[in-house]
Amino acid sequence: MEARRALILGIGTDLCNIERVERTLTRFGDRFRNRVFTEREQGRAEARVHAAATYAKRWAAKEACSKALGTGLRMGIAWRDMAVTNLRTGQPVMQVTGWAAERLAAMTPEGYEAVIHVSLTDDHPWAQAFVVIEARPSAHGGAGAA
């Protein structure tokens, strides 16, 4: 039996201007926050000294994820369908729900599990995100998304 290998399903990147996000937060406040970011993302950002940089990195991650999914922000994907959380180590993790999760499941080959890798960085005035969607052979042999 031939061993299955991991596959790259999608790659996305985005660059976001922190000052632009800061102006948007000043102008639209909670309306912007609630439309784009989950409560958990908002809590993390608001706990930071430079909240705008945290929001900008997450904005870039959502854009990068939508590109890796092959859709961009169209075809029914909502901003809040993609959310960045962090492991205890601080490593960012992308979680998808709604239509983004459906798209991920549809693009994941049978017998594989999808893993979304995300890397975030900022250097004022820029925030950047890079997303790679990997399909790993499933231990249980069924289709699905992690």
Domain ranges of the chain: 7-145
Rounded Cα gap, residues 15 and 38, in angstroms: 21
Helical segments of 1-146, H only: 18-36, 39-46, 51-68, 98-107
Q: Determine the 3-state secondary structure of 55 from DSSP.
A: helix
pLDDT at 32 over 60: yes
H or E segment to which residue 19 belongs: helix 18-36
The CATH H-level superfamily of 7-145 is: 4'-phosphopantetheinyl transferase domain (3.90.470.20)
Residue 54 confidence class, pLDDT cut points 50, 70, 90: very high
Question: Three-state DSSP class for 47?
Answer: coil
| Length, in residues, of the chain | 146
77-132 confidence digits (pLDDT tens): 789 999 999 999 999 999 999 999 999 999 999 999 999 999 999 999 999 999 99
pLDDT at 23: 98
CB-based contact 62:39 (threshold 8 Å): no
Is the pLDDT at 143 greater than 60? The verdict is: no
Confidence at residue 75, expressed as pLDDT on a 0 to 100 scale:
62
Per-residue burial over 58-72, b = 16 or more CB atoms within 10 Å of its CB, e = otherwise: bbbbbbbbbbbbebe
Quote the pLDDT of residue 74: 67
Q: Do the Cβ atoms of 14 and 63 come closer than 8 Å?
A: yes
